[in-house]
Structure 1
Amino acid sequence: MAAHGRRVRCGERHGEMKTIFITIFQAVEAKNILRTSVATALLRDPDVALVCLVPSEDRKAYYEREIVHPRISYEVLSPEPRGLAERFFSMLKFHLIRTATMDLKRTLRRADGGSALGYAMNLAANRLLARPFVRGIARSLDAHVVTDRNVERVLRDRKPSLIFLAHLFDDLEISILREAKRLGIPTIGFINSWDKVTARCMIRLLPDRLLVFNALVRDEAVAHADMPEERITLVGIPQYDYYRTTVPRARAAFAAAFGIAPERRIIVFAPNGRYSARADGAMIDLLHGWIEEGAIPNAALLVRFQPNDAVDRREIERRPWLIYDIPGKRFGSERGGDWDMDERDLARLRDTLAHAAVVVCYTSSLSVDAAVFDRPVINVNFDLVRIPKRSESPIQYYGMTHYQNALATGGIRVVSDRDSLLAWINRYLEHPECDAAGRERLVRKQCHVCDGRAGERMAARILETL
């Protein structure tokens, strides 16, 4: 689709070039936009150019090598040093939404040794301030008091036609949104994950339009971000388009790449990361032991680590028998946004899910990925070892708002002891169709429409705004 909803015919003269700024400050933004049909669909319009704002020269050089197109450029944008007003509103945003997830985080901090007084004051402030009219006052003050001259200068110099903000919980992206509003530049926001509205903070400022995965996130954006429903569009999950539009590698070739005998059924276990390393290691050993002793017959264990967290290589070295995959490229040692998954990583994830017999994990979005492939999903709700800090136990997080929504579909089997885990693994191996209706509901609720065209819907909505 061309700009203004008009198709460009062969030989027709192109119009004025439209420049879209896209924020790529987090890895998930690149995964959802640059590595999906969002970017390719936008660039089908010959009058559109994309300028991707990135956090550093290293990241600019990386993306210039990885994702190349004559109408994609990368520009480093850094914020001004944070003044008092910016620091205040950046702190305030965590107190102005009231959700089960935010309450859970507060409780875990207290359980891990936080002060009783701090807990009580935080809770009282939240109950007093987490109201729409307070958020409205905060947004009005935020919009008028806080400034970022560096961002303003870039926007004035480059004069983008539109700004697409894919992580509205980031303070730098809010600075961009604020200055764009002052300059009259149209803005579109995107909620790029299923948990952020209820698990992160208040959205400090609201864009002109908002794109979301599904009706659940739309309703959360109305309730907790005060976004008018008529300004929200449901588009689906763009990174799942890849699952619908590409063909997995042949099973024999996939198994051979990991040294797995082709006749063995693959049990995929997905650890939660360094914060739950004690629990993850014990679960790997338990699953491996069951397979070795024949309690899970004719099976192989494949451990897929998270792409957004470092892996303790010592734990791997202690298990020379371990078959594992460490996807992604990490740019730093901190868990979170400083990572990327290239085309090979994305293909290997697709193939892993396509050829898994059962997926075992804790609270993870991989549960939804697996359901897209109609693969049985088991979530573990028990600890095998004593874990001193409650926040480091992965079973503490089933009460999160977004995960309760997923569990309500019946598409994820939660087990609370070893015997149940073993029994359900073997049952799913023999009857993979079990709970298929629940998995279909899970996909429908989380993906809105999983038809391989979410990226095109996003691009169409962006182009309509130009």
Structure 2
Amino acid sequence: MKTIFIPIFVPSVARNILRTDVWKKLRQKQDLRVVLFAPSYKKDFYRKEVGAENVFFEPLDNFNDPLNKLDSFFRHLALFFVDNETIKCLRRMRLEKENNYIFYFFSWLLIKLFSNLSFLRRTARLLDYFLVRDTKLAKYFEQYKPDLVFAPHIIHACDQAFIREAKRRKIKTVGLIHSWDNLTANKSAMRINPDVLIVPNEITKREAEKLCDYPGNRIIIAGMPHFDYYFTEKPCAREAFFKRIGGDPAKRLILFAAIGKSFSDTEWQDVQIISDAIDRGDLPSDLQILVRMHPNPAAHMIDRGLKKSKTILFDVPGIQLPAPGGVSEEMLFDDMMHLYNTLFYSDIVVTIQSTMSIDASAFDKPVINVCFDGWEKKPFYDSTSVLQLHHYTHYQPILKSGGVRLAKTAEDLIASINLYLKHPELDREGRARVVKEQCWKFDGGAGKRIADAILKSLDTTI
């Protein structure tokens, strides 16, 4: 019996792996033992969900904290490997907030050096591999003697620690870029490269080759596993869905997909603008707004000033588990199907800048991106302004696709909603391009392709 290690430390990773065909296909192997590593407060939760005779669970905590000074040094050094519009925006926002021109200059210098000289990045990764030591994982490798380590969130500190330990022991490693924005928006390239890398699309493959110096012949393109639901499942009855959200099945639905107060503190104003337009008659009266939180409680918008209205509904996705310092969200099968139904029955999707633009495109739903700060006039580099979000590198293919419309004023937003309500077929080719570029193959088989890549690597272990 062969053994695979899989660390699960991010809720979206649990969604992508444990609740898709990745896990289903791995569990079909009767002669395979899987050891899942998770925070101690989630171990029993995952055990109840996916526990089986050949599935073992081990708790690991505090992996977001640097192991030592060397680990902290290399973590920070990896932030200088990437130079793009996202990094420029983030650096300028920090400058505006801290006014530290000395740091700004030297960080610019390091970024220019490491992003343009691959031998410096390769040298840094080599030193990182040899100099950073960690004994926390050694006992598990000794106990279970794994044949393969699968890192489902390869840029995460915990996954990198597993990769480092496995490579020192000559154990085969497979990494997954679990989201389309990982290599650019998260500001960090891989510190240590796995033997095999799985990516969602051609764009991410090119990014891995350029930013991570990863050889293209060891990259496998698989697609987005959590999008498999959109292809394979069927919607519930319209009446059942609207009963669940407290809406009216006779009315049309605008889905407002919030990105959260960490990125914007004026989303409530965007919702109010749409609601007021309905009340004034600038938008049809047969509309209702479903605000899908991410993951802020609905009270946040009410507390900020959003007026309560029969046209505004709130949807808080997933379940919340008690966690150190707060809560941790998990998207279970029922929650993923609820998102499916939400998109299926929405007439228009409004968001600022998020993956929901891709989700909506998969259902051929018109997408409007809000590119203004409600009623407020904020500087471009204000950390709570949405203006710079549309300049982020990972989002440029979405904007260039022709599949979404940017609303730069409240008037633009209302006009775009009215236009799409009358002509939902507009920009359909652009939405199809979004799906093709971001999902690669939208055929319901991404999860199986990821599992096949893992099992193939397991059969060719070092």
Q: Give the TM-score, by structure 2 length.
A: 0.92
> Which whole-Å CA distance do the structure 1 matches of 2:308 and 2:323 have between them?
24
1:162 is the counterpart of 2:151: no
The corresponding residue for 2:430 is: 438
1:148 is the counterpart of 2:100: no
Partner of 1:272: helix, strand, or coil? coil
The corresponding residue for 1:270 is: 257
1:72-129, Cα deviation, whole Å (9 max, x unpaired): 3321134597222112111111112222211221111112234122211211121122
The corresponding residue for 1:238 is: 225
The corresponding residue for 2:77 is: 92
The corresponding residue for 2:238 is: 251
Pick one of 263, 266, 289 that aligns with 2:276: 289
1:127-160, Cα deviation, whole Å (9 max, x unpaired): 1222211110011111111111121221122111
The corresponding residue for 1:77 is: 60
1:197 is the counterpart of 2:177: no
1:383 is the counterpart of 2:370: no
Q: Offset of 1:292 from its aligned partner?
A: 2.1
Contact kept in structure 2, 1:163 and 1:185, CA below 8 Å: yes
Contact kept in structure 2, 1:85 and 1:145, CA below 8 Å: yes
Q: Which runs of 5+ in 2 are unaligned?
A: none
Pick one of 51, 58, 63 that aligns with 2:46: 63
1:153-172, Cα deviation, whole Å (9 max, x unpaired): 21122111111001122222
Partner of 1:378: helix, strand, or coil? strand
Change (3 A) 1:167 1:327: same
1:359 is the counterpart of 2:360: no
1:24 is the counterpart of 2:25: no
Q: Offset of 1:183 from its aligned partner?
A: 0.6
Q: Offset of 1:336 from its aligned partner?
A: 11
1:347 is the counterpart of 2:337: yes
1:309-458 to 2 correspondence within 5 Å? 309-311=295-297, 313-316=299-302, 319-321=307-309, 322-331=312-321, 338-386=328-376, 387=378, 390-458=382-450
The corresponding residue for 1:279 is: 266
> Which whole-Å CA distance do the structure 2 matches of 1:348 and 1:464 have between them?
34
- Seq. identity, %: 35
Partner of 2:437: helix, strand, or coil? helix
How many residue pairs end up in the alignment?
A: 447
Residue range with higher mean Cα deviation, 209-218 or 408-417: 408-417
Q: Which runs of 5+ in 1 are unaligned?
A: 1-16
> Which whole-Å CA distance do the structure 2 matches of 1:183 and 1:276 have between them?
41
Tell me the amino acid that sits aligned with residue 208 of structure 1: D
> Which whole-Å CA distance do the structure 2 matches of 1:443 and 1:103 have between them?
28
Change (3 A) 1:360 1:335: farther
Residue range with higher mean Cα deviation, 255-264 or 283-292: 255-264
Contact kept in structure 1, 2:12 and 2:331, CA below 8 Å: no
Partner of 2:297: helix, strand, or coil? coil
Write out the 4+ residue segments of structure 1 that deviate beyond 6 Å after TM superposition. 332-337
> Which whole-Å CA distance do the structure 2 matches of 1:236 and 1:81 have between them?
32
Q: Offset of 1:293 from its aligned partner?
A: 2.4
Partner of 1:66: helix, strand, or coil? helix
Q: Offset of 1:276 from its aligned partner?
A: 4.4
The corresponding residue for 1:460 is: 452
Q: Offset of 1:439 from its aligned partner?
A: 0.3
Contact kept in structure 2, 1:380 and 1:395, CA below 8 Å: no
Residue range with higher mean Cα deviation, 59-68 or 89-98: 59-68
> Which whole-Å CA distance do the structure 1 matches of 2:21 and 2:326 have between them?
24
> Which whole-Å CA distance do the structure 1 matches of 2:177 and 2:184 have between them?
11
1:2-13 to 2 correspondence within 5 Å? none
Partner of 1:149: helix, strand, or coil? coil
Change (3 A) 1:150 1:275: closer
Change (3 A) 1:187 1:67: same
Instruction: Give the aligned CA root-mean-square deviation in angstroms.
Output: 2.0
Q: Offset of 1:277 from its aligned partner?
A: 5.0
The corresponding residue for 2:122 is: 136
1:430-464, Cα deviation, whole Å (9 max, x unpaired): 11111100000000000000100100011111111
> Which whole-Å CA distance do the structure 2 matches of 1:69 and 1:232 have between them?
31
Partner of 2:262: helix, strand, or coil? helix
Pick one of 157, 165, 173 that aligns with 1:179: 165
Change (3 A) 1:165 1:135: same
1:105 is the counterpart of 2:90: yes
